[in-house]
Amino acid sequence: MNSPLLTAPGAVAPFAGAPDQGVPWHFGDPFAEQRSAARSVAVVDRSHRAVLAVPGDDRLTWLHSLTSQHLTALGEGEGTEALILDVQGRVEHHAVVANVGGVAYLDTEADRAAELLAYLTKMVFWSKVEPRDATAELAVLTVVGPEVTDLFAKLDVPLPAGPNGVVALGGGFARRMPWPGHDAVDLVVPRGELADWWARLTDAGARPAGSWAFEALRVESLRPRLGVDTDEKTIPHEVNWIGSAVHLDKGCYRGQETVSKVHNVGRPPRRMLLLHLDGSREVQPETGDPVLVDDRVVGRVGSVALHHELGTIVLALVKRSVSPETELLVGAEDRRVQARVDPDSVPPDTPGLGREAARGLGR
């Protein structure tokens, strides 16, 4: 589903094979777009996201039983993130959730939506819910930057309160997000009004920005992307989803035993780290490429981004046994470059692990 904004002035489409087909990659100056998102305000077309709708009286208790999140505690006008795991606790689906107007909305990666909807439909049984694909009805825009509040005031649009607040908005909703910056709001608008909303936002001062800018800010924020920073073996502890998408004070969902066991008595085998690449070579790795120490594979490359301040940065899943001080090589042979670990990206062995909290290391 191609966005009408691909024909907007200055819009550049992504190259063949890029993960964000169907929306603008940038608008002529991706680094300036990132700076606007960091210092003023920018708007990103993310209408390639899939949106599922789950109306029905049982929507929260039903989703609570299927996902890693404590959704029975989610009030009207609140949002969160949630995972669906397999029986071994490995991540199958990730969604950003909004509960508004008697409907739970889940937006997710477009290539995973059909599988997620099929699973939800299969699990309805006797519950009063009617999950459906609402992608043809709703589209996602993300507004990000420290001037978001001023922008919404200028447009006389209600701004959701708190880090995960949600407000109904003319056939859609606005959802406050804790990433990819300190000030970010997802606008989920009627798809037929996407171009109109874009014009309103840009006319009010938001700089048009593409998926390049959004991805760079996401990587800087250490936020994983399903299917890019995860593989078939990924468990939530490895990619910073404990807390944001996994509630540790709930049980009785598929994969919960692994989540609890690793949290209480174990350590995840890998951890997601931010890597800074040596910029002396005009090559960069690709998603799925190996991370190596002395020709030994110790991890995999996830997201690769060109950042306006940090240069080329990578999110990589790396074996826990690898010291953060170790010099790494990333990429296949013809695009292999040196990399170093950003020390600020190194998490505790397991966030909140009991014995580490007792030593003052938990967070």
CA dist list (Å): 328 to 4, 318, 337, 339, 356: 42, 10, 8, 5, 27
Looking at the fold, whether 15 and 156 belong to one and the same domain comes out as yes
- Per the domain annotation, does 313 fall within a domain? yes
Q: 356, 280, 292, 296: which is closest to 329 by C-alpha?
A: 292
Q: Which residues of 153-188 are buried (b: 16+ CB within 10 A; e: fewer)?
A: eebebebbeeebbbbebeebbbbbbbbbbebbbbbb
Q: What's the pLDDT score for residue 349?
A: 62
| pLDDT tens figures, 63-76 | 999 999 999 999 99
Percent with pLDDT over 70 in the chain: 96
Is 139 found in the same domain as 42? yes
Establish if 130 belongs to a structural domain: no
Co-location of 146 and 11 in the same domain: yes
pLDDT digits (tens, 9 = 90+) for 310-361: 999 999 999 999 999 999 999 998 889 999 999 999 987 644 433 333 333 2
Same domain flag for 8 and 153 = yes
Span 14-31, pLDDT tens digits = 998 888 999 999 999 999
**Pairwise CA distance, residues 38 & 77, whole Å:** 27
- CATH number of the structural domain spanning residue 314: 2.40.30.110
Q: Which of 123, 121, 143, 69 is nearest to 99 (CA)?
A: 69
Predicted pLDDT at 354:
35
For residues 210 and 139, state if they share a domain: yes
- Give the domain CATH number at 19: 3.30.1360.120
| Residues, the chain | 363
Q: Looking at the structure, do residues 150 and 42 belong to the same domain, yes or no?
A: yes
d(CA 89, CA 246): 11
Predicted pLDDT at 143: 98
Q: Greater confidence, 295 or 119? A: 119
What pLDDT does 81 receive?
A: 98
**Looking at the structure, do residues 40 and 146 belong to the same domain, yes or no?**
yes
Q: Which of 158, 159, 108, 157 shows the shortest CA–CA distance to 134?
A: 108
Q: Look at strands 42-45 and 207-209 and give their pairing.
A: parallel
Q: Is residue 163 a part of any domain in this protein? A: yes
The amino acid at residue 11 is: A
Average pLDDT for residues 212-220, to the nearest whole number? 97
Neighbours of 44 (CB within 10 A): 29
Average pLDDT, the chain: 93
Q: Does 226 have pLDDT greater than 60?
A: yes
Residues 170 and 312 reside in one and the same domain:
no
Residue given tokens 């890597």 in the structure block: 275
Does 312 lie in the same domain as 183? no
Of the listed ranges 115-124, 135-144, 201-210, 251-260, the least confidently predicted one is 251-260
* Average of per-residue pLDDT across 123-150: 97
Tell me the Cα Rg of the chain.
20
Averaged pLDDT, 82-102:
98
Could you list the residue range(s) of the whole structural domain that residue 157 is in? 4-49+135-221
205 and 312 share a domain?
A: no
Q: Does residue 329 lie in a domain region?
A: yes
Last residue of a domain, one of 200, 221, 242: 221
The three-state DSSP-derived secondary structure of the chain is CCCHHHHCCCCECCCCCCCCCCCCCECCCHHHHHHHHHHCCEEEECCCCEEEEEECCCHHHHHHHHCCCCHHHCCCCEEEEEEEECCCCCEEEEEEEEEECCEEEEEECHHHHHHHHHHHHHCCCCCCCCCEECCCCEEEEEEECCCHHHHHHHHCCCCCCCCCEEEEECCEEEEEECCCCCCEEEEEEEHHHHHHHHHHHHHCCCEEECHHHHHHHHHHCCCCCCCCCCCCCCCHHHHCCECCCECCCCCCCCCHHHHHHHHHHCCCCEEEEEEEECCCCCCCCCCCCEEEECCEEEEEEEEEEEECCCEEEEEEEEECCCCCCCCEEECCHHHCEEEEECHHHCCCCCCCCHHHHHCCCCC
* pTM for the structure as a whole: 0.94
Verify that 217 and 273 share a domain, yes or no: no
Can you name the residues that pair with 312 across neighbouring β-strands? 306
Is residue 258 one of the residues assigned to a domain?
no
Least confident residue range of 21-30, 196-205, 232-241, 326-335? 326-335
Number of domains in the chain: 2
Asked if the structure places residue 20 within a domain, the reply is: yes
Residue 189 lies in a domain: yes
pLDDT attached to residue 268? 92
Q: Are residues 278 and 217 in the same domain?
A: no
Quick check: is 40 in a domain? yes
**Residue 351, pLDDT score:** 45
pLDDT digits (tens, 9 = 90+) for 25-57: 999 999 999 999 999 999 999 999 999 999 999
